[in-house]
Amino acid sequence: MDSALIPRGVKRCPLWQFILFICVVGAVLLWGVYAMLLCWIKGLNQTNMNDYYGFAIWIWADLTVIAVGGGAFFSGLLRYIFGKDELKSIINYAVLIGFICYSSALLVLAYDIGQPLRGWFIFWHANVHSMLTEVAFCLSCYFGVLTIEFIPLILENRQIDRVPFFHHLSHNMHEIMGVFAATGVFLSFFHQGSLGGVAGVLFGRPFAYREGLFIWPWTFFLFTWSAAACGPCFTLLITKITEAVTRKKLVKDDAVELLAKISGWMILTYIIAKTIDTWWWLTVTAPSMGQTLMDFYSNNPLYGIWFLILEIVICGFVPAAILITKKGRKNSVALWIAVILAVVGVCINRWAMVLQVMAVPVMSFDYWAMYFPSWQEIATTILPVAYGIILVGLAHRYLPVFPDESELNPIETLPAEEEEAVEPSVDLEQELKPAEA
Amino acid sequence: MKHKKAKKYGMVIDLDKCTGCGSCMVACMAENNVPFRKDESNKLLSITWLRVYKLTNGKPFPNTDICYLPRPCMHCEGQHEGHPPCVSVCPAVATDYNSETGIVSQVYTRCFGCRYCMASCPYKARYFNWWDPVWPDGMEKYLSPNVSPRMRGVVEKCSFCFHRYQLAKEKAFMEGRRELKEDEYQTACTQACPAGAITFGDLNNPNHAVYRMVKPDPKHHGRPTNPNAFRLLERLGTNPKVYYLSSREWVRRAGDNYLENEAKIKKTVHQG
């Protein structure tokens, strides 16, 4: 029924199956929307946050989706600035994932504030000294850039592309995409960094505080670096999941391998820098504030030293070691493990820099604060995931997200069907000539 | 006209005198229209601008000792004047450092509830309005007309009863004076303390009791020179304007974090 909208040369599941899929995910989305409305109408008392835990799962989700969405800017940098043409096979998907991640981040921010109707104050009454202000500005601008990067893909839909204006607009936007990619890299560097700065500047919180360069704490650079390193792994992970769900190969091996290789080296350099930062923090910074390693990792039911080891060794050095070797990248299972570990690693890092910061007591007579999110917080955190799945589903069905899909999955058609499947090529201008009376 | 040195209002709390009666907390709530709920059993959701902590020396009987420590907002000065942990992080300039008085204020109508200031405060002195305030029937008539009640979704904290400063200034102006006398501006908790444990005044004025009690060292951001005086988390570099007095070593030591076997406070190496 919707075959006219589906890109040429690719096969999609029957419409009923697709609608059923959208309905199931849509139900989860509606559950999230209901919880979101509760938070907006009744306030943040719907959450399990409290005065010790002012920052909680939403801020973690925010930082995490932005980190894993970093695959968009870094892939854009490699494809358009460094000219890595192999990535043509995956760049559209990287942009789509980035768009989903950043729109989700903005949505989460919208219900994370106590007075949502005053959200615009952050722009109007901006405090230029606040890392959060920089995050808000750069995040919004970069979302604009991602939208611009996403538009040509929408315009490539079979029916939209038939309109000459959209066809040429899409073509011309592709031509200048390098400019937007460069702008995206510039903006990403700052907002990814500022998100790191959000925690790093907290000089009243020894667990989060880091020295740095001029006004930027080391976490500023580490956050940008980790997003550039682990973001592409998230792109690869979602690509692999999409391939598993659709039971098709969608991206060429050379694109996956190149991205995995670059990501591997980025993770390795990042995790070395992170180790040095952690060492300095634990031997110089924290002791100067009267605290030691075990003050941060004991006397509580959750945060043991295992948490630090899991982040740095298991989810840092291990995926880096796999991805920098050709053997590791060629082995499908090893590649799966590596990208999962890298994504988990960046998630844990963001968790530590938000939730553990809140949990650790600072005053000697204070206590560890533990927190578990309410169902409303869980539902609103799952909401962007459901939204992302729906958008991926729609984009995959109706847009040429994977340019090499038809080549990788040639359709064998019967002679009778062939005539129907392959439409005769017509001159675009001629076909769209205005009707004459 | 001779330039007058700016004020630096601060508080000295004598922990040897504090009995933990909680009068200061009650006075603070009544004075500042601090909202409360029917069920206040979850203290992590209670708004207590001034909270009294109970400290123990951790020793078994008969050597057990306890101390009650009232904790208002510290009105930190920061490493450079006007740079407390909370002010620079607020994205909308909803919290401000008044360089005329040294008081850290909260602009309720500007705050949009991001709670970054709460995350930045090591003293947990900032509170979020998780609910809209609901007063028991008739109680709204007893609210202070000088302090605006706060709405749901914004952060609030101790203001050193700033409205009292404004009223005192107005009175002095009407009487043709520019300077306030020491007793003209006092916080509600100071006046309510039956043991006289809380003293309030200008830390820049050698004639004020607070100055004489702690003898702040201006070369070290007001660090007390009285050996019995200390500030909470001194080595973080927040430079609070609330000082504590105690003759007990374990109480003074509880005011900060120390490495194992560390004898005394080393010079802070904080760079912020």
User: Which uninterrupted H or E stretch holds A217?
Assistant: strand A216-217
Name the class of domain B9-254: alpha beta
What residue in B sits closest to A128 (Cα-Cα)?
B91
pLDDT value at position B80? 85
**Contact call for B236 and A289, based on CB within 8 A:** yes
Chain B contact for A30 (CB, 8 A cutoff): no
In the numeric block, which tokens belong to residue A396? Answer: 């995959």
Residues 151-170 of B with CB under 8 A from A: 151-155
Residues 56-75 of B with CB under 8 A from A: 69
**Contact call for A365 and B236, based on CB within 8 A:** no
- CATH 3.30.70.380 for domain A13-402: no
- Mean pLDDT calculated for residue range B181-196: 97
Block residue for tokens 């538009």: A151
The mean pLDDT value of chain B amounts to 93
DSSP at A300: S
Contacts of A132 in chain B (CB under 8 A): 89, 91, 114, 116
CA dihedral A38, A39, A42, A44 (to 10 degrees): 150
In the numeric block, which tokens belong to residue A25? Answer: 């995910």
AA identity, residue A267: I
Q: Give the minimum alpha-carbon distance from A115 to chain B in angstroms, rounded to a whole number.
A: 5
Cα distance between residue A414 and residue A70, in whole Å? 44
pLDDT value at position A404? 94
Ordered DSSP codes for A226-256:
HHHHHHHHHHHHHHHHHHHHHTS--S-HHHH
Closest CA to B161 of B71, B27, B21: B27
Q: Which of B92, B121, B131 sits opposite A125 (nearest CB)?
A: B92
Q: pTM here?
A: 0.92
Does the pLDDT at position B266 exceed 50?
no
**Contact call for A44 and B128, based on CB within 8 A:** yes
Which tens digit of pLDDT belongs to each residue from A84-109?
999 999 999 999 999 999 999 999 99
pLDDT band at residue B263 under the 50/70/90 scheme: low
**Contact call for B91 and A202, based on CB within 8 A:** no
Burial call B12-33: b when 16+ CB within 10 Å, e when fewer: bbbbeebebeebbbebbbebbb
Q: Give the minimum alpha-carbon distance from A383 to chain B in angstroms, rounded to a whole number.
A: 20
Does the pLDDT at position B242 exceed 60?
yes
**Contact call for B113 and A291, based on CB within 8 A:** no
Which tens digit of pLDDT belongs to each residue from A93-152?
999 999 999 999 999 999 999 999 999 999 999 999 999 999 999 999 999 999 999 999
Angle at B230 between CA B229 and CA B232, to 5 degrees: 155
Q: Which residues pair with B198 in a beta bridge?
A: B13
Cα distance between residue A18 and residue A11, in whole Å? 13
Contacts of B89 in chain A (CB under 8 A): 129-132, 198, 201-202
What residue in A sits closest to B89 (Cα-Cα)?
A130
Q: CB under 8 Å to B144, separation ≥6 — which residues?
A: B30, B31, B32, B33, B163
Sites in chain A below the pLDDT cut of 70: 413-437
Does the pLDDT at position B268 exceed 80?
no
Domain boundaries, chain A: 13-402
Block residue for tokens 């009791």: B209
Model ipTM?
A: 0.92
AA identity, residue A25: V
Q: Could you tell me whether strands B223-224 and B216-217 are parallel, antiparallel, or unpaired per DSSP bridges?
A: antiparallel
Cα distance between residue B145 and residue B149, in whole Å? 9
Burial call B145-168: b when 16+ CB within 10 Å, e when fewer: eebebbbbbbbbbbbbbbbbbeeb
Cα distance between residue A235 and residue A106, in whole Å? 20
pLDDT value at position A430? 46
Residues 213-232 of B with CB under 8 A from A: 232
Residues 116-135 of B with CB under 8 A from A: 116, 118-124, 126-132
Domain boundaries, chain B: 9-254
pLDDT value at position A118? 96
CB A97 within 8 Å of CB A153:
no
Chain B contact for A48 (CB, 8 A cutoff): no
**Contact call for A113 and B235, based on CB within 8 A:** no
